[in-house]
C-alpha cells in the first residue's frame, strides 16, 4: 500500500501527492499530511487514492462531526472547523482568479450564520426500505439516520420513515422557513402513507412520481420583504441564511438598474428583489412550473414591472428586442453557452451581474467578457457549508 504526502490542495478540495512520480488525488486530505492510501482508480495520467491510515496529521484536523463522512461523500470538509473551511474556500477562489489573471484583490467570503442543519432540500435514495445517499462518484449505497447539514424538519421526517410504505426508489424533501414540507416519492410501488406523518409534521403537499396526490404542489417563502411561491421541483436557494445576504448584495449593486434581463430566473428569486426597488425585470426560464411560480410571485407582490418567458435562454434571448442596462445571470453549473455569451456582448449592457455555483465555468465565461468589461466586485457566499462548493457573485461594468 503506497504512502503519500500531500503537497497541495486542489481547487476542489482534494489533496495532491505523488506515487512513483505519478500524481494521486486524495479526498478528505489536508496539506502536509501523510497517509497510507488505497488506489481506487488508475488512469493514464493520474490516480485516485482513498485514505486507509493517517500516518501524520495536520494540527487543524478534527474528528469529523458526521459518522458517514468517509463514505457518504456529501461533505468534503467535515474534518475541519467551520472557520478553516472558509479560509480554504477563500484561498482556492482567490488563487483561481489570480491564475487566470482576472482579479487580484482579496475576495471576501460571506459565512453562513448556521453552518449545520441549513439545507432546505435533499434527495435521498430508498433501498430495501432504508434511506441514504450514494457514495461520492459511485453507486455504493450509504444508509443514514440523520444528515447534519439538512434542516431539522427534514431529519424529523427521516426518523419517521417507518410510516412510509415503499421499499425502493427516491424520497425528495423540501422545507421552508415555517417548517412546512413538500415531498416527492419516486417509486414503481404502491404507496400508503400513515396518518401519523400528518399528525407529527407540517406536510403541505405530497407528490407520487410527477403527480400531486395530497395538498398543494407549492409552499411560500418570504425573503427580504418579497413573497415567493415555490413548487416542488423549481430551483430555489438551499440555504436560507445565505440567500438573504446574496439577495441584499444584488440589490445594493443594482440600485440604478432601470431595465433588467434576468436569465435562468427560476421562480424569480433574484429578479423580484430588483423589481421591488423599481427596476423593470424581464425573466427567461426553461422550467414551466418555475415560470408559473414567477408570474404568480409578481402578482403576489403586486409588481407590475415584471415579465417572464418560458423556454431555453439561448433561444429566447435572440427574440427579445428590448434594450437592457443590466443583465443578471444565475446559470446552472455548465455556465453560459456560446450563443448566450455572444448575445450578451451584442446587447452590451452597462452592468452584468453573474451569480455562479461553479468557479470553473465562471472563469471561462469571464474571459469572454474581459475585453469589454471591468470586474468591479467579486464576493463568495458560503451557500453550502462543509462542502467544496462556493457561490460566487461578480459585478462587471462596461469599459
Alpha-carbon span 174 to 114, nearest angstrom: 18
Count the helices and strands in the chain (H runs, E runs): 10, 23
Of 86, 60, 350, 130, give the one whose Cα is nearest residue 242: 86
Contacts of 17-21 with C-beta under 8 Å, sequence gap 24+, read: 17/49, 19/47, 19/49
Q: Is 212 a catalytic residue?
A: no
Alpha-carbon span 158 to 146, nearest angstrom: 7
Query: Out of 72, 75, 147, 357, which one is annotated catalytic?
Result: 357
Any alpha helices (H) in the chain, and if so which ranges?
Answer: 69-72, 82-99, 152-159, 195-200, 240-253, 271-276, 288-300, 313-316, 338-347, 359-369
Where is 109: in which H helix or E strand? Answer: strand 109-110
Count other C-beta atoms under 10 Å from residue 138's C-beta: 11
Residue 337, Cβ density class (10 Å: 0-12 exposed, 13-18 middle, ≥19 buried)? middle
Helix (H, G, I), strand (E, B) or coil at 163: helix
Of 351, 359, 352, give the one whose Cα is nearest residue 391: 359
Any alpha helices (H) in 78-143, and if so which ranges?
Answer: 82-99
Residue 96: all three cell numbers together? 483561481
- Characterize the bridge pairing of strands 109-110 and 373-381: parallel
By residue count, the chain amounts to 399
Task: Tell me if 39 sits within 8 A of 48, measured CB to CB.
Answer: yes
Positions marked active-site:
357
Amino acid at each position: 500500500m503506497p504512502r503519500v504526502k500531500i503537497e497541495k490542495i486542489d481547487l476542489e478540495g482534494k489533496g495532491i501527492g505523488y506515487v512513483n512520480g505519478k500524481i494521486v488525488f486524495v479526498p478528505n486530505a489536508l496539506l502536509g499530511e501523510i497517509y497510507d492510501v488505497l488506489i481506487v482508480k488508475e488512469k493514464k495520467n493520474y490516480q485516485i487514492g482513498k485514505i486507509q491510515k493517517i500516518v501524520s496529521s495536520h494540527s487543524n484536523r478534527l474528528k469529523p462531526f458526521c459518522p458517514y463522512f468517509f463514505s457518504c461523500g456529501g461533505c468534503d470538509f467535515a474534518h475541519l472547523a467551520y472557520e478553516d473551511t472558509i479560509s480554504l474556500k477563500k484561498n482556492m477562489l482567490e488563487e483561481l482568479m489570480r491564475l487566470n489573471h482576472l482579479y487580484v484583490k482579496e475576495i471576501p467570503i460571506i459565512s453562513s450564520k448556521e453552518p449545520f442543519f441549513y439545507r432546505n432540500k435533499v434527495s435521498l435514495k430508498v433501498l430495501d426500505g432504508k434511506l441514504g445517499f450514494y457514495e461520492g462518484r459511485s453507486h455504493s449505497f450509504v444508509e443514514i439516520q440523520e444528515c447534519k447539514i439538512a434542516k431539522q424538519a427534514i431529519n424529523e421526517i427521516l426518523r419517521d420513515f417507518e410510516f412510509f410504505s415503499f421499499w425502493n426508489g427516491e424520497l425528495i424533501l423540501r422545507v421552508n422557513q415555517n417548517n412546512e414540507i413538500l415531498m416527492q416519492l419516486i417509486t414503481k410501488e404502491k404507496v400508503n402513507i400513515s396518518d401519523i406523518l400528518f399528525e407529527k409534521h407540517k406536510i403541505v403537499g405530497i407528490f407520487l412520481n410527477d403527480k400531486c396526490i395530497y395538498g398543494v404542489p407549492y409552499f411560500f417563502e418570504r425573503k427580504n420583504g418579497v413573497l415567493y411561491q415555490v413548487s416542488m421541483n423549481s430551483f430555489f436557494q438551499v440555504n436560507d441564511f445565505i440567500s438573504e445576504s446574496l439577495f441584499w448584495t444584488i440589490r445594493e449593486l443594482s440600485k440604478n438598474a432601470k431595465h433588467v434581463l434576468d436569465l435562468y430566473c427560476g421562480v424569480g428569486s433574484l429578479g423580484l428583489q430588483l423589481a421591488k426597488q423599481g427596476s423593470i425585470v424581464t425573466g427567461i426560464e426553461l422550467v414551466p412550473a418555475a415560470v408559473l411560480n414567477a408570474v404568480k410571485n409578481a402578482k403576489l407582490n403586486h409588481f407590475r414591472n415584471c415579465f417572464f418567458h418560458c423556454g431555453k435562454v439561448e433561444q429566447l434571448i435572440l427574440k427579445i428586442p428590448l434594450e437592457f442596462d443590466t443583465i443578471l445571470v444565475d446559470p446552472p453549473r455548465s455556465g453560459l453557452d456560446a450563443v448566450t455569451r455572444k448575445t450578451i456582448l451584442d446587447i452590451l449592457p452597462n452592468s452584468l451581474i453573474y451569480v455562479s455555483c461553479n468557479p470553473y465555468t465562471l472563469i471561462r465565461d469571464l474571459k469572454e467578457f474581459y475585453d469589454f468589461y471591468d470586474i468591479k466586485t467579486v464576493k463568495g457566499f458560503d451557500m453550502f457549508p462543509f462542502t467544496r462548493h462556493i457561490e460566487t457573485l461578480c459585478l462587471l461594468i462596461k469599459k
